[in-house]
Amino acid sequence: MTATLEAPTPSDVNAAVALSGVRKVFGHGAGAVVALDGVDLRVAPGEFVCLLGASGCGKSTLLNLVAGLDAPTSGEIALTTSRPAVMFQEAALMPWLTAARNVELPLRLAGLKRGARRAKASELLSLVRLGEAGGKRPHELSGGMRQRVALARALASTLGSAEAGTPGLMLMDEPFAALDAITRDVLQAELVRVWRETGTAIVFVTHDVREAVRLGQRVVLLSSRPGRVVREWNVDGLTGADESNSIEEITAHLREVISGHAAAS
């Protein structure tokens, strides 16, 4: 069962983040590159959306815009959540801080008191099953453990300012791409568990169709140069044959998008 959403029309109130007509151009004049063009996207609170696309589709640009690290050339981005958290392909932990202190960092920047910081950080570390490793430095942890600390830190940065009950939003930029297959498998399952327990919305960028279908409730396919939303699929709760059918269908579309570029150039 693959439901194709031709015209997604959830109400404005019901969106964690809503992008309308977002366009991003890098550079000026003849050398200008259009990274994103007319992107409309809505993510409901607590929803898990996977952005799928080949290289150069502006996935990372899109995340930077939503995170506020960059401003769109035109179009609007409306957030109803607390400040979105970002997770990168590398864990990018501060090497001079212990795992617990890394998780505390966003809380510290948000001005939380030490006691509250400690409590929140140890709670989040146990959530990613690293309750015992809080005192370790990043270089003493494996790649998978580091990425889990980064997950806890990202949760701290979006939930730390959300005591008032505003939902969280996490932006993940291929966070598992640099990990080996088994670790990636375990971390994908951990992410789904953490997502269920915290109820934060997730926008997950990947170029792996299998990963997108496994994790997401909805898969959004972007075209490349400029990035546009090509199509969306509802993939929530698919198993067995339905899941592999979806993967096949989405892969076919992704291939189509990519080969379109060979013809164009």
Partner 1 sequence: MATPQPPETLEADRGLAAVGAGLDALDAPAQNRRKSPWQRFLHTAVPPIVAFGLLLGTWQALWASAIWPEFQLPAPAAVWDTIWATVQSGDAAEILWTSVSRAVLGFLVAVIIATPLGLLIAKVRVVRAAIGSLLTGLQSLPSVAWVPAAILWFGLTPSAIYFVVLMGSVPSIANGLVSGIDQIPPLLPRVGQALGAGKLSSARHILLPAALPGYLAGLKQGWAFSWRSLMAAEIIATSPQLGLGLGQFLHNGQSLNDISMVIAAIFLILLVGIGIELLLFRPLERAVLRARGLTGALG
Interface with partner 1 by CB under 8 A: which range of 18-26, 186-194, 233-241, 249-257? 186-194
Give, in order, the Cα–Cα distances in Å from 128 to each of 11, 16, 75. Answer: 33, 24, 36
Nearer CB in complex with partner 1: 28/139: 139
Site for partner 1 in 102-141 (CB under 8 A): 105-106, 108-110, 129, 133, 137-141
Q: Is residue 80 involved in binding partner 1 (CB under 8 A)?
A: no
Interface with partner 1 by CB under 8 A: which range of 23-31, 113-121, 153-161, 254-262? 153-161
Q: How far is the CB of 166 from partner 1 (least distance, A)?
A: 15
Does residue 226 have a cis bond before it (omega within 30 degrees)?
yes
Q: How far apart are CA 246 and CA 257, in angstroms?
A: 17
Nearer CB in complex with partner 1: 113/255: 113
Q: Is residue 204 involved in binding partner 1 (CB under 8 A)?
A: no
Q: How far is the CB of 59 from partner 1 (least distance, A)?
A: 16
Question: Which among 56, 87, 74 is positioned nearest to 19, based on CA atoms?
Answer: 74
Nearer CB in complex with partner 1: 29/95: 95
Q: Take residue 31 and report the two structure tokens written for it.
A: 């050398």
Q: How far apart are CA 201 and CA 168, in angstroms?
A: 6
Q: How far apart are CA 132 and CA 90, in angstroms?
A: 22
Instruction: Identify whether the C-beta of residue 168 lies closer than 8 Å to the C-beta of residue 158.
Output: yes
Interface with partner 1 by CB under 8 A: which range of 23-31, 79-87, 204-212, 245-253? 79-87
Interface with partner 1 by CB under 8 A: which range of 1-9, 142-150, 218-226, 236-244? 142-150
Nearer CB in complex with partner 1: 200/224: 200
Q: How far is the CB of 187 from partner 1 (least distance, A)?
A: 8
Residue 95: count other Cβ atoms within 10 Å of its Cβ: 9
Give, in order, the Cα–Cα distances in Å from 252 to each of 63, 120, 167, 217, 265. Answer: 25, 44, 35, 19, 21
Residue with tokens 């939303």: 229
Residues 6+ away with beta carbon under 8 Å from 264 = none
Nearer CB in complex with partner 1: 34/186: 186
For residue 189, the one-letter residue type is A
Site for partner 1, rule CB under 8 A: 46, 67, 69, 83, 85-86, 88, 90, 92, 94-96, 105-106, 108-110, 129, 133, 137-145, 153, 157, 161, 182-183, 186, 189-190, 193, 195-199
